[in-house]
A and B are shown apart, each in its own frame.
Chain A
Amino acid sequence: MNEPEQRSAGGYRLEEDGRGGVTLHLEGPIGVSDSAGLIKRLDRSLTPQAGGTVAVDLGRVTYLDDYGVLLLSEIKMSTLQKKADFYLQNISHEISKTLSMYNFDTLGRSESFRKPKRANVLTRLGEATMRQAAEAKYMISFLGSVCFALLHVCLHPRSLRRDETYTCMQKTGVDALPIVGMISFLMGLIMAFMSSVQLQQFGANIYVASLVSLAMTRELGPIMTAIIVAGRSGSAFAAEIGTMKISEEVDALFTMGFDPTRFLVTPKIIASVIVVPLLTIFSDIFAIMGGLIVGVFTLDLTANAYIAQTIKTLDLFDVLLGFCKSAVFAVLIAWIGCLRGFRVRGGAASVGEATTSAVVSGIFLIILFNSIFSVILRYWE
């Protein structure tokens, strides 16, 4: 009979009897800080032969928690994989309680995690189509309920939440004025600079005023304002309603007998329709001021001449057109923002997605409707 061969390291000692049997003596506490190292070292040093046995002696283990149980189950699994037998020795009462708490006997038999299977292309395509269809259906039904809510407010003006509408007007309109003014001013400045380079060659400096004022009032003023409002307020609407949805505030409104659409959406749409056109007017004025400054300081125009040319170029129709366009944009921004908010499901990440999508689809709708306006006007005028 061979003399038992002994190896030792911190926390464990291996003893081989030379006939394929290995005894692993574990020592001390086996917890969070010890198990990772032990698993790695034992993976290398514990190599049972097929048909042999691995006995784990727990007699000198002072403390064992689930990290220890994990270590034992790792040893057990690798042992069984190599077709050797596995058993535990000297299990104290405490340890056996812990082992049974984690169902040690059945551990490792069931596969730990099922991998989510990736569906094939056709299934995914179908699912995506169904999702889009459901989305479109919801969009239409939401549009309908918004129309009903607005109609209801028109018939019963007292049902509108006044204070909420005023607050919303301030947040969407007044608070946006500095940034809208600043950006429009710079837009006017840039346009005047760019056009002056060309127009100066023909001595047509004065037409810078026409170009800036016409382009801003008819196209760029409404678009720029709407894009800023989509970024500022469309996202805010989506985030607000989305968070309310998650914290069950929307459900609470419903059970209190309020129509969530009428309660939450109408103030936002009405406030936007009122303030966004006003913002657009401001945007036009600031842009013309930007052009004026370029005209006066670099093109040798007088302020009077510039303003006179601006007035000569613009007629009421241009201003009203910009006004109407921006009212339509306002409805679109508020509508899509609220819609995305109501589509929030789940948690914080979903609110983020809704906010992103509110801004992206808001800007898309603005450009789309602006194109529609252009086509209509082309044939109408």
Chain B
Amino acid sequence: MERQPVIEVKNLVARYEEETIFDRISFKVYEGEIFVVLGGSGCGKSTLLKHLIGLIPPASGRIRVAGCDISRAGEECFDDLLQRIGVLYQSGALLGSMTLAENVALPIQEYTELPKDSVNRLVKMKLTLMNLGDYADYLPSQISGGMKKRAGLARAMALNPEILFFDEPSAGLDPVTAAELDNLIIHLNETFGTTMVIVTHELESIFTVAHRIIMLDKRTKRIIAEGDPRYLRDHSQNRFVKQFFNRLAGDTMHPPAQEA
């Protein structure tokens, strides 16, 4: 079966001031896939995510998301694209002056024609799915970190986007909640065929959810591994990849350059 790539990154170069973060990296994400971006701390995982959702324009290279070239400024399809993607930020990024229900209702009211009662009912459904049904009228400052994350997911899912981006979804969650979130991710992926791009370094959830991963490397600024995480764990020749998947301490934080 020929699968369609929904995200295509070609020769992406990212730079902060003088510091290069990635040097000509290329990869594809296919439709309906759970794609995980891995790497040690500070290798630019979150930077890559910000490039994919158009928050940072690339220094050079091309990024196509759902048929829209977001690497070129002023593309008309970009506004349309934003309704077709959802992003879960690290700490939820809920608007502090609105209740959870208002946060989730915000994109629904803006982009659909649903009558007000239906919006409320839908919001209630979405919050209940995230186990937050009783907290609809709470402000973000009144709930815990894990709840904020789930409410953030409810908001990211508000318009049932084609592509969902997650920035460290299980960071700061207890194992039970993290596992529940993983199940939810798998369930949403199976039910709605949503493509998921996840940035994380939680080993447990990588093996549970990931269909395919790429691993970024801080030193070479390239992708050092790509494929099925279970296969890579057992068969990769790269020392850093092996250390990462088997949770071994490295001699330094930096992996040796390209042994494979």
Contact = CB atoms under 8 A, between A and B. Distances in A.
A70 B118 contact: yes
Contacts of B124: 112-113
Contacts of A346: 96, 139, 141-142
B126 A66 contact: yes
A119 to B, nearest CB: 16
A205 interface: no
The B contact surface, by secondary structure, is helix
B191 interface: yes
A65 B118 contact: no
Interface residues of B, number: 28
B187 A101 contact: yes
A67 B96 contact: no
Interface residues of A, number: 32
B101 A113 contact: yes
B145 to A, nearest CB: 12
A108 B142 CA distance: 27
B155 to A, nearest CB: 14
Given A101-B187, A348-B96, A36 B114 contact: yes
Contacts of B122: 66-67, 70
A107 interface: yes
Nearest to A71: B118
A378 B111 CA distance: 66
Nearest to B122: A70
B125 interface: yes
Contacts of A74: 118, 121
Contacts of B159: 32
A222 B114 CA distance: 59
- Dominant secondary structure of chain A at its interface with chain B: helix
Interface string A49-79: 0000000000000000111011001100000
Nearest to B187: A101
B101 to A, nearest CB: 7
A231 interface: no
Contacts of A349: 96-97
B121 A112 contact: yes
A94 B191 CA distance: 7
Closest 7 CB pairs between A and B?
A347-B96, A346-B141, A36-B113, A349-B97, A36-B114, A112-B124, A70-B122
Given A70-B114, A97-B191, A346-B96, 11 more contacts: A32-B160, A40-B113, A69-B125, A70-B122, A74-B121, A102-B128, A113-B120, A346-B142, A347-B139, A347-B140, A350-B96
30 contacts: A32-B112, A32-B159, A35-B112, A35-B114, A36-B118, A40-B113, A40-B115, A65-B191, A65-B192, A66-B125, A67-B122, A67-B160, A69-B125, A70-B118, A70-B122, A74-B118, A74-B121, A101-B191, A102-B125, A102-B128, A103-B128, A107-B121, A112-B120, A112-B124, A114-B137, A345-B141, A347-B97, A347-B139, A348-B96, A349-B97
